[in-house]
């Protein structure tokens, strides 16, 4: 681990640093509380700290309180804090725990005790990291389509509502594109649902590769896709839809030894209206998509 130690006593600091390095840890050593705060709250700061209780600038408890406040406000990862102290009174320990301290190390420290307490903190941080990863997996499962990796319908509608509010606030246009695969039922009927899934995955990848970082793409349902294009006027949105159409039609999709031709029909709607309902904008894009289907498919309609 990367461990920050803050201690204004040179001998104590060097002994602590040497002991931690012998255990295989990378050590960042500072001499006061202000430097500790700067290091811990900086970009990619250490998530493990051993702080002297009494030191210049902010003392160990004050540093810990700042960390806990930042974690509550910003949701930054948890930092495990051990306080290095010669205090032994029960009321002092209670005060430290109330400040958010995780553990104590008595000065002068014993190397075996140091090792045990660092290992204990490491287990806590590993457990939290596993929980955060599990939480992120659940979030992705709840908001993304399992087959294509794009947003699912619910997430797309939530994002559209947010983008409409942002567009109204900033006075900028917002465009949406409804896209539907042409003749997809025939792919499933002729080549099977496994081939259909391969087509959907490949089409999603081609669509995603052609949009900007701040654009959004969703599998809206079945073989239908939705693009959210913040800040795009009619011309820009039409160009984006044409790029998606070209990307899908440009190459055959390989599946189970077959090479399948695939095309998209797309409908585009753009708004600068304040307070427009998300469903109204989607309805307009859907009407344009219907015109693209009836006018020959593999085309874009506004």
What are the catalytic residues? 223
CA-angle at 55, arms to 11 and 60, nearest 5°: 110
* Beta-sheet strands, E only, within the chain: 2-6, 26-30, 48-52, 80-85, 103-106, 174-181, 216-221, 224-230, 253-255, 258-260, 264-271, 300-301
Distance CA 250, CA 264 (A): 11
Compute the Cα dihedral for 43, 45, 47, 51 and give only its sign. negative
> How many other CB atoms are found less than 10 A from the CB of residue 267?
25
Helix, strand, coil tally for the chain in percent (to 5): 50, 20, 25
Closest to 27 (Cα-Cα) out of 43, 38, 39: 39
């Amino acid at each position: 681990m990367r461990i920050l130690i803050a201690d204004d006593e040179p001998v104590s600091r060097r002994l602590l640093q040497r002991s931690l390095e012998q255990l295989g840890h990378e050590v960042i050593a500072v001499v006061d509380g202000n430097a500790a705060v700067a290091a811990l709250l900086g970009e990619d700061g250490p998530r493990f700290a051993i702080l002297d209780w009494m030191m210049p600038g902010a003392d160990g408890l004050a540093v810990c309180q700042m960390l806990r406040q930042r974690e509550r406000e910003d949701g930054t990862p948890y930092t495990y804090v051990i306080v290095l102290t010669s205090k032994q009174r029960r009321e002092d320990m209670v005060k430290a725990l109330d400040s958010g301290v995780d553990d104590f190390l008595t000065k002068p420290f014993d190397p075996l005790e140091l090792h045990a307490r660092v290992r204990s903190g490491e287990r806590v941080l590993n457990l939290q990291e596993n929980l955060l990863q599990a939480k992120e997996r659940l979030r992705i499962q709840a908001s993304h389509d399992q087959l294509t990796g794009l947003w699912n319908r619910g997430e797309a509608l939530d994002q559209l509502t947010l983008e409409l509010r942002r567009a109204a606030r900033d006075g900028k246009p917002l465009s949406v594109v409804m896209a539907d695969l042409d003749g997809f039922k025939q792919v499933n009927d002729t080549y099977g649902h496994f081939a259909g899934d391969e087509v959907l995955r490949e089409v999603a990848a081609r669509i995603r590769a052609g949009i900007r970082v701040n654009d959004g793409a969703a599998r809206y349902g079945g073989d239908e896709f939705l693009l959210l294009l913040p800040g795009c006027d009619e011309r820009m949105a039409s160009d984006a839809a044409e790029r998606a159409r070209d990307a899908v039609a440009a190459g055959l999709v390989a599946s189970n030894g077959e090479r399948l031709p695939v095309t998209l029909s797309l409908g585009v709607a753009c708004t600068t209206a304040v307070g427009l309902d998300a469903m109204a904008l989607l309805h307009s894009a859907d009407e344009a998509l219907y015109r693209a289907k009836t006018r020959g498919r593999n085309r874009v309609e506004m």
